[in-house]
Amino acid sequence: MNKITFYLPYFELLTLLETSLTDFKLVKEEELEHRIKKYQREFVNHSKLYFVEYEAGNEEERDVYHLNRSLEQQTYLVFTNELEIFCIQDAEEKAIEVAEIIGTNAFELIDEVKRHILFIKLNNEWTWIPLFKVSDAPQFQHTLISSSKIDKRDQFFSTILKS
């Protein structure tokens, strides 16, 4: 059995998707936090919820991670869930199931070699895009997102390359 990580870095997804896709709004962070905590209580899983305080532009200081939301600092939700799978297509199915339960419309999968695959729900349909060379991407059941749906393509792909 293999492992793959369901990864939801709220701030990163917010800045990437809401600036690149017209009419896309990520679910509100507070609502997502509530649903994730409920998911963690109700399901047996290997998940972690924490909050990151980004140190933007300061190379000497590092990002700070909190187990509880800091009231003094601006922090953003990060949720991870390790999924046990037989094949990558199992990961797609399990990850979308988690996404639907917690109510998110975007997340990433991170495979065993640390490649990121971004899943986005557009018009009630899940689509995906690898954040690496498309020819190296696995075949999923859902549709690969058309670059024509990405309104600010240059900004979208340059942001991906920077991260």
- Mean pLDDT for the stretch of residues 43-60: 74
Provide the domain limits for residue 51.
2-162
How many angstroms separate the first and last alpha carbons of the chain? 29
Number of domains in the chain: 1
| CA–CA gap between residue 100 and residue 125 (Å, rounded) | 12
SS3 129: strand
CA torsion through residues 52, 55, 57, 60, sign: negative
pLDDT recorded at residue 9: 93
Q: Tell me: the pLDDT tens digits for 131-154? A: 777 777 777 888 877 666 665 555
In the block, residue with structure tokens 């975007």: 106
* Mean pLDDT calculated for residue range 70-86: 83
So what's the pLDDT on residue 64?
57
Per-residue pLDDT at 54 exceeds 60: yes
**Counting beta carbons within 10 angstroms of the beta carbon of residue 163, is it exposed (0 to 12), middle (13 to 18) or buried (19 or more)?**
exposed
Tokens of 126: 């899940």
pTM of structure: 0.83
Could you identify the residue written with the tokens 């492992």?
3
